[in-house]
Amino acid sequence: MTAILEVKAASAAYGQIQALRDVNLDVYEGEVVALIGSNGAGKSTLLKTISGIIRPTNGEIRFNGAPIHQEQTHVIVKSGLVHVPEGRAILKRMTIEDNLLTGGMYASKHDTPHLLAHVYDIFPLLRDRRQHPAGTLSGGQQQMLAIARGLMAQPKLLMLDEPSLGLAPLVIKEIFGLIQTLKASGMTILLVEQNARQALRIADRGYVIENGGIKLADRANALLHNDMILQAYLGGA
């Protein structure tokens, strides 16, 4: 079986700063893959490079077998590779429904009502509040909206950048519960998290990134019991 996403020896830089070095990473259909690493390790840069926001300086990225590392972001989104960025990027003055519609802008007009209904079934609260400005939602609800907007783009692969960032423990639990539900529905997910333990508990496999390079790749369960990972990323517990 070939991977739905193949990152091969990808490097990226911000001017003189090398942010990714020779990164190799694969995601197979139906998997949840966690990408963990400390602040500044290169996690967001890797997602941005995959989604075409940053051009790799070297290497190759393939999605569904086709090279995408020279493609424009909108072409990549349309092909089913959807990035929910860190910080959510919600349009706070726009209504919740209009935020969702921006996510569905590449779907055919005919499909939009079905897509909206599907997303509202997963997130009933968003249906109830659909005419309210998105800025009236709590942080956790805005994160839900960001993920819901991603789903409107009909992802074949959903990349989530730090969905639990800045949220209270109970809300984090809800977000991970949602990711679990998406996983159970067969969604393929590449999950970037500082919250390494919870991410690895939900994931099938994990990659550890340090200083722009992949340090370790393994089954998530093996990483959860790896002494080095325990000490460095899981608080030694």
Q: Applying CB under 6 A, which residues contact ligand ATP?
A: 14, 17, 19, 37, 39-45, 86, 194
Give SS3 for 199: helix
Nearer to ligand ATP, 18 or 79 (CB): 18
Q: How far is the CB of 120 from ligand ATP (least distance, A)?
A: 31
- Report how far apart, in Å, the C-alpha atoms of 109 and of each of 37, 39, 91, 152, 164 are: 40, 41, 22, 12, 32
Nearer to ligand ATP, 17 or 66 (CB): 17
**Taking each helix axis from N to C terminus, what angle separates 169-184 and 139-152, rounded to the nearest 10 degrees?**
20
- Phi then psi dihedrals of residue 236, to 5 deg: 70, 0
Nearer to ligand ATP, 42 or 140 (CB): 42
Query: For residues 131 and 95, is the Cβ–Cβ distance under 8 A?
Result: yes
Alpha helices per DSSP H over the chain: 43-50, 73-78, 96-103, 112-122, 124-128, 139-152, 169-184, 196-202, 220-224, 227-233
Q: How far is the CB of 21 from ligand ATP (least distance, A)?
A: 11
Q: How far is the CB of 74 from ligand ATP (least distance, A)?
A: 21
Nearer to ligand ATP, 57 or 102 (CB): 57
Nearer to ligand ATP, 14 or 237 (CB): 14
Q: How far is the CB of 42 from ligand ATP (least distance, A)?
A: 4
Residue 14 neighbours by CB distance under 10 Å:
9
Q: How far is the CB of 153 from ligand ATP (least distance, A)?
A: 22
Provide the residue type at 121 as one letter: D
CA dihedral 174, 42, 53, 159 (to 10 degrees): -30
